Amino acid sequence: MSLEQRPTILVVDDEETIRSALSTLLGRGGFTVRASGDGQAALTSINEQRPDLVLLDVVLDESNPNSMGGLDVLRRIRAMEGFIPVIMLTSYAEWQVESLGQGAIAFVTKPWDANALLGQIRATLNAVSQIRLDTLKQQSEQSTASSAKLHVQDVEIDLTAFRVTRSGSEIDLTPLEFALLAFLARHPNREWTREELLDQVWGYEWVGYPRTVDRHVAALRRKLKLERDELIETLHGTGYKLIP
């Protein structure tokens, strides 16, 4: 893979040792890495050249009362035109709900597991890329901006902002949960086997078990507060279909 094809990750952490360790890990993992030590430098870097993903520490330079914290930076990124996925990184697990509520797409606790972190980043980039490609294709076919949002019963899926709401309440989904729900919503009443969903949503490079789909459907039902076979119907022994 050429350097031009490598996804770019912006690492934002006020500890030089952590920036260095993450830069080494991500570089070896096949990514182009940029690093910033504070929030303002991170926003300047993003405005100069947008990364494909931001890995952002929740706590930034607590010694300076005028510096932006990680959640401040996250809100600024989410307010920008165009979606940039942000994975939050911190030693404090209690920040998880707040981070996800502010628009982070995932949360990783220090000390991180290298394989888990790389897997989370790859899954995020794959899901975001697939949704963007599908959205562009659908908009081209329909020639209307309305295709950027899907509506199924009382669920709205915003393909541009990567947000899901049910009855007006926002639902926090992982990238693959979002991608799975969006894919099913694009093809209502069509039956899909688990193998087909793995191929269409996870991608041809995915190596795993078909029951992975079951775990993601279960998560969607739990987060959307769905009864069994409400909205997403189980096709016993084969797969699933979405009921509009």
| Angstrom distance (rounded) from CA 181 to CA 61 | 38
| Angstrom distance (rounded) from CA 77 to CA 73 | 6
pLDDT at 116: 86
pLDDT at 25: 96
pLDDT at 34: 97
Taking the chain (244 residues) in runs of 10, the rounded mean pLDDT of each run is 73 94 96 94 94 91 76 87 83 62 71 88 82 65 63 91 89 84 93 88 58 85 90 92 94
pLDDT at 55: 95
230: Cα within 13 Å, side-chain hemisphere? 12
**What is the sign, positive or negative, of the torsion defined by CA atoms of 22, 25, 29, 34?**
positive
Q: Which CATH number among 3.40.50.2300, 3.90.79.10, 3.40.50.720, 3.20.20.70 corresponds to the domain 3-112?
A: 3.40.50.2300
pLDDT at 96: 60
Domain boundaries, the chain: 3-112, 129-242
Q: Which of 189, 188, 182, 137 is nearest to 164 (CA)?
A: 182
Rg of the chain over all Cα atoms, to the nearest angstrom: 19
Tokens standing for residue 25: 């890990």
Contact of 79 with 37, CB cutoff 8 Å: no
pLDDT at 32: 96
pLDDT at 48: 94
Average pLDDT, the chain: 83
Q: Which of 98, 229, 244, 116 is nearest to 184 (CA)?
A: 244
| Angstrom distance (rounded) from CA 74 to CA 98 | 11
Residue type, 177: E
- Does domain 129-242 sit in CATH 3.40.50.720? no
The reply to whether domains 3-112 and 129-242 share a CATH topology is: no
pLDDT at 1: 42
What's the pLDDT tens digit per position in 99-155?
555 667 677 888 889 998 998 898 888 877 777 776 666 656 554 545 588 999 999
pLDDT at 205: 46
Q: Output b/e per residue, 106-132; b: 16+ Cβ within 10 A.
A: bbbeeebeeeebbebbbbbbbbbebbe
Q: What is the pTM of this model?
A: 0.66
